[in-house]
Structure 1
Amino acid sequence: MDHYSNDPRDGHQPRNARSGGSRSQSRASRQRTPRPQDDDAAIKRKFNAPKKPRKQRTLLQRRLKTAVAIGSTMAIVLTGRLAWVQLVWGPDLSEKASEQRTRVFVDPARRGEISDIRGQQLAYTMQARSLTAAPVVLRKEMRTRAEFKLQESGEYYDLSEQERNRRLDEAVKQEIERYSKEIPKAIEKAGASSAEVDAKEIKNKLESDSTYQVLVRNVDPDVAEQIAKDFPGIAADLQSIRQYPNGAIAENVIGKISQDGEGQFGFEASNDGILAGVNGRQTYDVSPDGVVIPGTMRDNIPATDGAKVTLTLDLDLQTYVQQQVEQAVANSGAKSASAVVLDAKTAKVMAMANSATINPNGDIEKQLDKGKTFANTTISAPFEPGSVAKVITAAGAIEDNKTTPDEVLQVPGSIDMSGVNVRDAWAHDVAPYTTTGVFGKSSNVGTLMLAQRLGEKRFNDLLLKFGIGQTTGIELPSESAGLLPNLSQWSGGTFANLPIGQGMSWTLLQMAGVYQTIANDGTRIEPRIIESVEDASGNTIEQPEPDSVEAVSPATAKTVRNMFRAVAQDDPAGVQQGTGPQAAIEGYQVSGKTGTAQQVDPNTGAYSNSMYWITFAGIAPADNPRYVIAIMLDQPKRGVHGEGGQSSAPLFHDIASWLLNRDNVPLSPPPEGQLVLEAR
C-alpha cells in the first residue's frame, strides 16, 4: 500500500489540496489529468445553480405557443392560397399566359377569278400586304423592352415604383409616336401603298384597346416585310387586292368585295362561299419582345384557294350594251334605262346592263353622290310591263284555239269589264283588226276581248307558267319576284288590267324570260349566269341544271313569233304598220312588242298621263331565234336617239344588229308578203 508524502519534492499533493496551488507549482503539476472527483464537482455546481423564476418560464412558453400558432396559420393560408391558385385560378392564368405568348398567323386564301364566256377577266386577285398589329399586346411588349433597358442601365432598383411606372409609360408613349411617324415615312418613300397613309390614324389605332388593327393596306410585299423587321410587333399580313379591270362594265352584275375581303355586292356577294376559299393558319409562340420562338410552330393548316368562275356574260357585248344604255339615257332624258340579252335556247344571260353603274376603281363616295349605284335594277326593280305583256294573252288564245292569226275581230274603241272602261291609246270606231293586228297595233280592247275568251282562271295559269310573280332563280342577290295578285284577290278591275300589262309588276329579267319562252318553242328555262366553276385543283364543280316549264306548245310558240313580226312591220300607208317599225333589221325577220306603261303619280295616287315606263322585248331572228333582248326606259322625254316619240324599239334594233353582224348570223328568208293587221 502506497503512502503519499506531503513533501513537494515527491511530486504529489494531498487529496484535499486545492486545485489552484501556489504559483511556484511546476508546469507538470498544472497539466495533470483531471481526476474523477473534479467532474463530479462540476456536475454538482450545474444542478445547484439558481433556477429561473416561474413567471419568466410561463412568458417564454406563451411566446413559443403564439409563434407556433402564427406559423401554423401562415402555413395553412399559404397552402390554401396555393391550392386556390392551382385549382381555381390555374386554368385561367394558364390560358392568359398562352394568349400572351401565342400568335396565330393567318394565310389568306386567294379569291377565285371571275371571267366571261370567252375567258376575259372580269375580276381577279393580286397579292399585297397589310401592316397589322395587336395594340394591347404590342404596348405590353414595348413596356417589357423598356423595362429591360431600364434594368440594364442600373437605375431600375434605385427608383420608386411610381417613378418607375412613369418612365415606362413615357417610353411606351414615345415608342408609339415613333411607330406612327416612321412607318408612313417608310411607305411613302418607297411609294409602296395605293392607300393614303395617315400617321394620326396609325397612332390612334396603336393606342386603342383592340386586339387586332389593320394599320395600312395595299403595301408592296418587300416594303411591308422590311417594316415588319424594323418595327417589332408589326406584322406584314398577306392581303388580296381585288382587281376589276373593266371598271364600271358589268359592275352591276359582278359587284365588289369589302376591305375585309368579303363579298359586298352582286355576284361577289351571292357566291362568296365558292369564290372566297378557306384561309390557312399557323400557330407560333413568341418571346416577350415579340420574336418568334423557333420550333413552336403547330396547327399548320394550308389555305385552300377559291374557285374560278366563268360567267355566261359576253364582255364585248356587255360593253356595247352598257354604252348604248348610257347613251339612250343621255339622248332621251330618261331617269334610267336597262337592257338584258339572253340566249334564246338556253336562257343564259349574255348581257345585263343598267345605267348609272358605279366604277369600283374610282372614288366610291363621289360617285354615290352623283347618283351612281351598285344596284342591278334588271333583277331588283320591278315595274309595270305595259303592252309587252300582251304576248301571254296571244299565246294562250292560240294555244287554246280561241282564235287564229287571221281571224278578224270587230274591235270597238273601248270596252267595259266589270264596271271598268278601257280604251285604246288612239280613238277609233269599230275596226276590223285581225288577231295579228290586235297585237301588231297594240289594241287594249282587242286584247281584252281575247282574254275574256280565256277566262280568269286560265289566264292566271298562263301567268304562272310564264314565271310571273316568281323569282327566276338567277345566281345573283336581291332578285325581286315582282308582283302578281293572287287569283282569290282578283276583282273585275284586275282582269281588265292584267292582260294589257297593268296591275302587276315584272323585272326586266322576267320580261326577257317571257320572250325566251316564245323563242324556245314554248319552254321556259330558268335564266343562268354561271357557265362553269373550277376548284383550286382545276376540277369542274357541277352546277345544277336549270328548271324548265312548258308554257305552250312548240306550234303555238312558232305561230306567236310569226304574228309578232307585225310589230316591226312598216307600211307607208300606215294601215298595215305595227307600233315598232324602228326595231326592224334589214335582211332579218324580228319579232317583238312595244310597251308603254303608265306610272302612278305619287301626288294623286292615280295613273299619270306624263310618266311612263317605255319597254320593248324582242327575238332575233324570228325564223331561227338566237337572241332575246328586253329593254326598259324610265320616264324618257324623247326617243333613245333623241328623236320624237318615246319608243325603245330603236335600241333593240341597235343591239340586235350588232350581235347579228358580229356573230355572222345567216340572213332570214324573205317574208311572203305583208302580214294583215287590218282587214280591208
Structure 2
Amino acid sequence: MTKTLRNRRLRYSVVMIAVIALVAVFVVRLVDIQVVQADELSKAAESKRSIPVTLYGTRGTIVDRDGTALAESVVRYNITTSPRLVKSFDGKLGGTRVKEISVDQALSAIATASGGDVGTMRKNIAADPKSDFAYLVKGIDVAHYEAVRALQVPWLYPEQQAARSYPTGAATGNVTGFMGTDGAQAGLELAYQKCLAGTNGSETYERGEDGVQLPGSTVTQKRAKDGGTLVTTIDSDLQYMASQDIADAAQQLKAESATATVVNAKTGEVLAVADYPTVDPNDVDATTDPGAYGSRALTAAYEPGSTIKAAIAAALIDKGLASPTTQAVVPYSRTFPWGGTIHDSEFHPTENLTLTGILRDSSNVGITELGSKLTTQQRYDVMREFGLFEPEPAIDYPGQPTMNYGASPEWDKQTDINSMFGQGILTTAMQVSSVYQTLANQGVRIPLHMVKGCQTEDGTTIDAPDVQSKRVVSAAAATQTVDMLQSVVTGGTLVGMKPISGYNIAAKTGTAEVADGAKGYGADRIISVAGMAPAEDPQYVVTVTFTKPQTTKWSSGAAPAFRTLMSQVLEKYRVAPSTTQARTYPSTW
C-alpha cells in the first residue's frame, strides 16, 4: 500500500514537472512573441494587411481671360491587383446569375471592359505571383472604369490619378504647351510648373486575407494639395480665328511657317498668338515638326525688314530732326565710302519724297538718308526702348532668344545702315507687336504679357507680371507716325488690300531676306504686315508673318490674312467705326 502510494506520488510529481516545464516553454515563447519580437511582428503583420495609397494633388488649370479651360486635369484610373489573390471566384461577371468565374474568364472580361490587353495582364500577374501589387491596365477614363467595376471581380483595386486634357486642342497648343511622361515639356505648362503642379499626399487602408478593404480602416497620412489656376490674357475664340486665318493663308502662300498676334494697344495684353504649324497637345506624336512644339512668334528670331522703319521715323520726329513732310531726294540705290551698297525693292528714277512718302513706298534708301540724322547710339537706344534686343520681360515662356545685346551697338558700318530698314538685326514677331503697341498707345510702351497671374488654392494671386509702362517717344511723334502709316494703306505698299469698311487702318509691310549661312542672303523671304485700328484712336494691334512663301515674295502677299484677322478683331470687340477721314500728309514735293 505504501509502495503504491509512493508510485502514485512519483507519477504525479513527474506529470506536474512536465506540465510546469511545458507551461514554462509556452511562457518563454509568449514573452518572446509579445515582448521581444512584438514590434517586429506587429510591423510584419501590418505590412501584410496595411495598403498604402497615393493621393494625387490635381494639376492646376490653365484658363483664358474669360475662364474657359485651355488645359485641365481629368480623372483617370489604373486597375491593379494582388497577384497572390488572383483565383477563380463565384460571381455574375456582368451577367444575371452567379457562377464560377475562372481567372481567364475574368481577365478577358476586364480587357473588354477597359480596352486593355489580356496578354499584358497575364504577364504582369505572372511576373511575381506571390506579390501584393501589379498593374493590369493604366489610364482608363471614368466610363471604362465603371464598366470594370460592374464586373465585381474581388481581386481588383482601382488607383485614381489625374491626366491632362486640352479642350481647345491645337488652336492653343502653342501657348499651353503639353505634358509628357517626364512632366511638363513646353509652353506655359513648363514655364509655370511651380504654379500648376499639385502636391501628392498619402493614405493607408487595411484589408483582410481575402483582399477586401476593412471598413473604417482608412487613415490619411498627408493631405494632397491641388495646383493653382493660371489665368491668361488669351481670348480662346479669337485665338481659334487667328489660327485658322494664318493656317489658310500659309497653305495658299505655300509658306514654311507663319505667326499671328493680336494685342490690346491700351493694356499690352496679348489676346491671341497663333502659329502654323502648331501642336495638338492631346496628340503630340502627330506633330512631326519639333519647331511647332512651342510658339515661333515668341521664339523664332528673324530679320524684320521694313516694319522697323516706323520706329526710325518716330525717333526722328521725337528728336526734332524731321517731320512728316521733311524732304529727301531718293535715288534707287546708294553706295557708301566703304563700298557697301543698298537699294530699294523695285527700280525707280530718283524721286522727291517726304518722310511720309518714304514710309508709304517703303524706301530703304530714303529711310537711311533721313535716319542718319540720328546717331548710331540714338537709333540703337530707341529700338531697344521699343522692345527690341531683349526677351519680352513680362512674358515667361521657354525658348525665347536671349538677345544679350550690350549698352552700345557692336555692328559694322554696313549693319549700322541696314538696321534702319530691319536688316542685320534680329527680332521676334512679338517684339514687332511691341513696337506697334507703343506707337498705337501714343508713344507709351506697356510690356506685352499673356498671363495675368496664378491663383493658388487659398485664393492668393502670384506670378503677376510687371507691366509698368514707359514712354518711348512723345505722343505727338507717335500720333504723326501713325498718321503717316495710313498712307501705306491708302496709296502705298498696301494699296491693293481691300479696305475694311468704316475703319481707318494704319499699317506697315515688311519683306526680309533670309540669310543662308556663309552664302549670305538667298532667294527666300519673310513677309509681314503690322498694323493697328482705328488709326485715329488705335485699340488693337495685329501682326502676321509668313516664312519662306513660295507663291509670292512680296509683302503684299501677307495683306489678305492681316485684313481678315483685323476685321474679325474689330467685329468681335465691337469697335466703333471711324468718324473722320484718314489723315495723310504729302508724300512728294
Report the TM range for the smaller structure's normalisation. 0.7 to 0.9
Deviation at 1:451, TM superposition (A): 2.5
Report SS of the residue matched to 2:353: strand
In the alignment, is residue 618 of structure 1 matched against residue 538 of structure 2? no
Q: 1:264 to 1:230 in 2, by over 3 A?
A: farther
Kindly indicate whether residue 276 of structure 2 is the aligned counterpart of residue 355 of structure 1.
yes
SS class of match (2:259): strand
Aligned counterpart, 1:563: 484
Matched, 1:487 2:408: yes
1:635 Cα offset (Å):
1.3
* Of 403, 408, 415, the match for 2:334: 415
* Distance in 2, Cα, partners of 1:434 & 1:389: 18
1:327 aligns with 2:327: no
Pairwise CA RMSD of aligned residues? 3.4
CA contact (8 A) 2:531 2:543 kept: yes
Unaligned runs of 5+ in 2: 1-31, 89-101
1:230 alignment partner in structure 2: 154
Q: Which moved more, 1:276-285 or 1:504-513?
A: 276-285
Paired residue for 2:27? none
Report what 1:548 is aligned to: 469
Quote the Cα distance in structure 1 between the aligned partners of 2:40 and 2:410: 64
User: Does residue 1:504 correspond to 2:425, yes or no?
Assistant: yes
Could you say if the C-alpha distance between residues 333 and 205 of structure 1 is closer, same or farther in structure 2, counting changes exceeding 3 Å? same
> Aligned to 1:111, which of 43, 46, 59?
59
CA distances 1:583-620 after superposition (whole Å, capped 9, x unpaired): 74232111121000011235x62111x20000111111
CA distance in 2: counterparts of 1:486 and 1:452, whole angstroms: 20
Q: Deviation string for 1:282-322 (max 9, x for gaps)?
A: 13456677555677654533322233333211122111111
2:77 alignment counterpart: 129
Deviations 1:46-97 (A, max 9, x none): xxxxxxxxxxxxxxxxxxxxxxxxxxxxxxxxxxxx9xxx99xx99999988
Equivalent residues in 2 for 1:9-158, closer than 5 Å: 103-132=51-80, 138=82, 141=84
- 1:447-479 superposed Cα distances (whole Å, 9 cap, x missing partner): 112232111111111122122121113133222
| 1:386 pairs with one of 305, 314, 322 | 305
Instruction: Give the distance between the partners of 1:421 and 1:413, measured in 2 at CA.
Output: 11
What residue is the counterpart of 1:254 in the other structure?
176
Q: Which moved more, 1:344-353 or 1:654-663?
A: 654-663
- The alpha carbon displacement at 1:356 in A equals 2.0
Query: 1:389, 1:499 within 8 Å by CA — same for their partners in 2?
Result: yes
* Residue equivalent to 1:74: none
Matched pairs, number: 535
| Cα offset, 1:403, TM superposition | 0.8
The answer to whether the 8 Å contact 1:224/1:236 transfers is: no
Q: How does 1:122-521 map to 2 (within 5 A)?
A: 122-132=70-80, 138=82, 141=84, 185-190=108-113, 193=114, 196-206=115-125, 215-220=137-142, 221-225=145-149, 230-231=154-155, 234-258=156-180, 262-284=183-205, 297-362=218-283, 364-365=284-285, 367-369=286-288, 373-417=292-336, 418-472=338-392, 473-481=394-402, 487=408, 489-521=410-442
Alignment match, 2:500: 585
Is the CA contact 2:257–2:547 (under 8 Å) kept in the aligned structure 1?
yes
Which of 506, 527, 531 pairs up with 2:452?
531
**d(CA) in 2 for partners of 1:552, 1:607:** 33
Matched residue, 2:8 = none
* 1:657 alignment partner AA: S
Q: Which one of the candidate residues 501, 519, 523 is aligned to 1:605?
A: 519
Kept in 2, the 8 Å contact 1:482–1:504? The answer is no
Give 1:187 shift: 3.6
CA contact (8 A) 1:228 1:235 kept: no
Query: Are the equivalent residues in 2 in contact too, given 1:442–1:579 (CA < 8 A)?
Result: no
Q: Secondary structure at the match of 1:250?
A: helix
Please give the alpha-carbon distance, in whole angstroms, between the structure 2 residues aligned to 1:476 and 1:667: 35
Q: Say if 1:672 and 1:653 are closer, same or farther in 2 by CA, change over 3 A.
A: closer
Query: Structure 1 residues 673 and 372, CA, compared in 2 at 3 Å: closer, same or farther?
Result: closer
- Does structure 1 retain, via aligned residues, the 8 Å contact 2:510–2:555? no
Q: Is the 8 A contact 2:58 2:73 kept in 1?
A: yes
For 1:648, which of 558, 561, 564 is the aligned residue?
A: 558
User: Which amino acid is the alignment partner of residue 269 of structure 1?
Assistant: L
User: When the two structures are superposed, what TM-score results if normalisation uses the length of structure 2?
Assistant: 0.81
CA contact (8 A) 1:205 1:215 kept: no
Decide which structure has the larger Cα Rg and report it. Answer: 1
What SS is found at the alignment partner of 1:251?
A: helix
One-letter amino acid of the structure 2 residue matched with residue 599 of structure 1: V
Structure 1 unmatched runs, 5+ = 1-81, 147-177, 571-576
Distance in 2 (CA, whole Å) between partners of 1:183 and 1:387 is 70
Contact 2:525 2:547 in 1 (8 A): yes
The structure with the largest strand share of the pair is 2
Q: What letter is aligned with 2:322?
A: T
Q: Are the counterparts in 1 of residues 486 and 583 from structure 2 also a CA contact under 8 Å?
A: no
- 2:373 aligned counterpart, secondary structure: helix
